[in-house]
Structure 1
Amino acid sequence: MSMYAKLKRRAAEGRPARVGLIGAGKFGSMFLSQAWRTPGIHLVGVSDLSPVNAKASMHRVGWPDERSQTASLEEASRSQKTFVTDDTAAMIASPFIDIVIDATGSPAAGIRHVIAACAHRKHIIMVNVEADALAGPLLARRAAEAGIVYSMASGDQPALIAELVDWARCVGLDVVCAGKGTKYLPVYHQSTPDTVWGHYGFSEEQVAGGDFNPQMFNSFLDGTKSALEMAAVANGCDLSPPDDGLAFPACG
């Protein structure tokens, strides 16, 4: 049965997967833009260091404002609404949450959240590749010992690469290398958050009108994010990273 069919069944049975999202930044906003349209998912809570910014992100992606006007996680769970908070620990511990999504990008925070999810037996989806690259195997082991699912996010590059590696091995191929297609020029290595927009060709008007974090976008450009993602792939697929770090072999 497909994932969509399973979600539709849960919706029809009145028992949606109850989700708590940590972090309403770039990836969190992407999830928010889809979650309220997906059957079988109820985003019960959103936790962010700034609830005001979280609500602004929800509004920006089209989230109905009335669905974030609720006083508690319990009230949200009963009314198909979403509670916005800055108390992540309480959200993870809540009996009204089944699945936690960490989209913070902070290794220290992500590790704390996984440990808390293990303690409260909440499945966790790790969009936080920074934490996964640092401690993914240990966190996965802790989750297995707690009897919960620890997973990368389907649709994000590390998980998609891992799926391809798994498919190739299942059909009998010997996987000797895994990678991702990225336009990389040597000059990008010198890029900084102050110079990054010129490489993307973004105008000042475009940057001012969107949710653009120069540090984040620079990490996409200078190889930092690719290195983190490929470390997560190595961890998840039992592959070894190269001794001399991330490489960008031409593959036209």
Structure 2
Amino acid sequence: MNLHRLLLKRQEQGRPVRVAVIGAGKFGSMFLHQAPRTPGLHVLGIADLSIPRARAALSRIHWAPEAGGAPDAATAARTGATWLTEDALALIADPHVEVVVEATGDPAAGLIHARHAMRHGKHVVMVNVEADVLAGPLLAREAAAAGVVYSMAYGDQPALVAELVDTIRTGGFSVIAAGKGTKYLPAYHDSTPETVWDFYGLTAEQAREGGMNPRMFNSFLDGTKSGIEMAAIANATGLAPPEDGLAFPPAGTSQLPDLLRPHNEGGTLARKGVVEVVSSLTRDGAEIPDNLRWGVYVVFEGDTDYARRCFAEYGVATDSTGRYAALWRPYHFIGLELGVSVASAALRGEPTGSPESWSADCVAIAKRDLAAGEVLDGEGGATVWGKCIPAARSRGLGAVPIGLAHGVRLARPVRQGALLTEADLHPPPAEGPAGVARAVRAEMIASSL
């Protein structure tokens, strides 16, 4: 609870925390909106594949035109302006940069940028959950060896869940379940970029006018983003993923402690200490009034009569027995809160959540019957969706992670609902960013992780 004070001190010293933002998409733009309003932070540079696109993003968030006018990093450091560049590696390597925010959303790019940052002694805030789930446990170990911080992104749900879990454990309680809410029905797993707007009640034209990316929204809908985020939470907290994927039980906040307790005590969980996502819809499609669609939660246990009596005395939300309790946050601010991670890495040397082990993976599942010769189109596409399962099971099956299920050709047919394995694929090319990502992933598999 001292980050703001530490930022003020850096501002008074004329030594703001200088940040490189890689990717000026939605999440990056939300952080960029708040950064000039945060004392002690200076966005030294923004790297994006398209400078015109980056300038358009800055215009939408009301940056002053001159703020993005520095011709290089040295000028930006001297004047307090921001350097716009297409050369992410040069920006990351610049000696003025203290923290790198990786917000591209591309898993291969994320791994490349993170390793480059660590080689140059920079802290990494990994907004790119896709990259984190693909090889984050390895990156966290490498960051520790390099003496820098590798952090999940505060404001995104995985970091907020990790914070809740840490708070509850620090208080001496056992975590029974933790996760987030989302809008879910089983039929959503089959959604494609062509059908996604029907589920949101929009026309394709309305979505285009709103600047909505159909693949991104489809990933939210078809369960992939939930699978990725729960895998990240499991790796950061040691909580277990379900053996065969998330169940998405319908639940409002009032139902959390009754529903998310062991099945032999009237709940739905196979065991204590798991990640799970709750749906804001009942299975017939009705909206649950006190749903947690935008929020996060933790269910924990009061294992003594005294603790349970305290729960009752102070109005803690519990199950019918008073033994299991829930704490939740109803919404999250996405990139508007990211400055917490940046400040924590630079000023405390601490991540806002980071992988501690490789306990969960997010693997590719066929959305329909796939024919030999078809090319997979990855996260948010029409061919596969991502399911969160134990990492040990993924390794044993040779499963294809969702982060590598893009641009690869099938060697044989795969039935709808089947988990894809490396044996189902033609050998992918070893060159380019995708080849680098595969190599990093192979390193993690080969390691003791």
Task: Give the TM-score of the pair, scaled to structure 1.
Answer: 0.95
The answer (yes or no) to whether the contact 1:26–1:211 under 8 Å persists in 2 is: no
In the alignment, the residues of structure 2 paired with residue 207 and residue 10 of structure 1 have an alpha-carbon distance, to the nearest angstrom, of: 43
* Higher RCO structure, 1 or 2 (CA under 8 Å, sep 6+): 2
Q: 1:101 corresponds to which residue?
A: 101
Give the % identical residues. 58
**Considering only CA atoms, is the larger Rg found in Structure 1 or Structure 2?**
2
Question: Per-residue CA shift, 1:166-205, capped at 9, x if unaligned?
Answer: 1111111111322111121222222211122222233556
Give the equivalent residue in structure 2 for 1:130: 130
Alignment of structure 1 residues 152-191 onto 2, 5 Å: 152-191=152-191
Which residue in the other structure is 1:82 paired with? 82
Partner of 1:120: 120
The code of the aligned residue for 2:77 comes to S
Matched to 1:212, the amino acid is M
Task: Tell me which residue corresponds to 1:26.
Answer: 26
Alignment of 1:1-252 (within 5 A): 1-203=1-203, 206-252=206-252
> TM-score if structure 2 supplies the norm length?
0.54
Deviations 1:46-101 (A, max 9, x none): 00111111111111111111111121011111111111111111111101111000
Q: In 2, Cα distance between the equivalents of 1:214 and 1:81?
A: 34
Aligned pairs, number: 252
SS in 2 for 1:29: helix
Give the superposition deviation at 1:246. 2.2
Quickly say closer, same or farther: Cα 1:203–1:9, change in 2 above 3 A: farther
Structure 1 residue 237 displacement after superposition: 0.6
Please give the alpha-carbon distance, in whole angstroms, between the structure 2 residues aligned to 1:112 and 1:239.
Answer: 28
CA contact (8 A) 1:45 1:82 kept: yes
| Alpha-carbon distance between aligned partners in 1 of 2:81 and 2:221, rounded to the nearest angstrom | 37
CA distance in 1, matches of 2:171, 2:60: 44
Per residue, is there more helix in 1 or in 2? Answer: 1
Q: Which moved more, 1:227-236 or 1:200-209?
A: 200-209
What amino acid is the match of 1:107? P
SS of equivalent residue, structure 2 residue 96: coil
Q: By how many angstroms is 1:206 displaced?
A: 4.2
Q: CA deviation at 1:118?
A: 1.3
Matched letter for residue 164 of structure 2: L
| More strand as a share of residues | 2
Q: 1:79 to 1:211 in 2, by over 3 A?
A: farther
Q: Cα offset for 1:110?
A: 0.8
Letter in 2 for 1:104: T
Pick which of 116-125 and 169-178 moved more. 169-178
Tell me the distance in 2 between the aligned counterparts of 1:208 and 1:182.
23
Q: Which runs of 5+ in 2 are unaligned?
A: 253-449
Runs of 5+ consecutive residues of structure 1 not aligned to the other structure? none
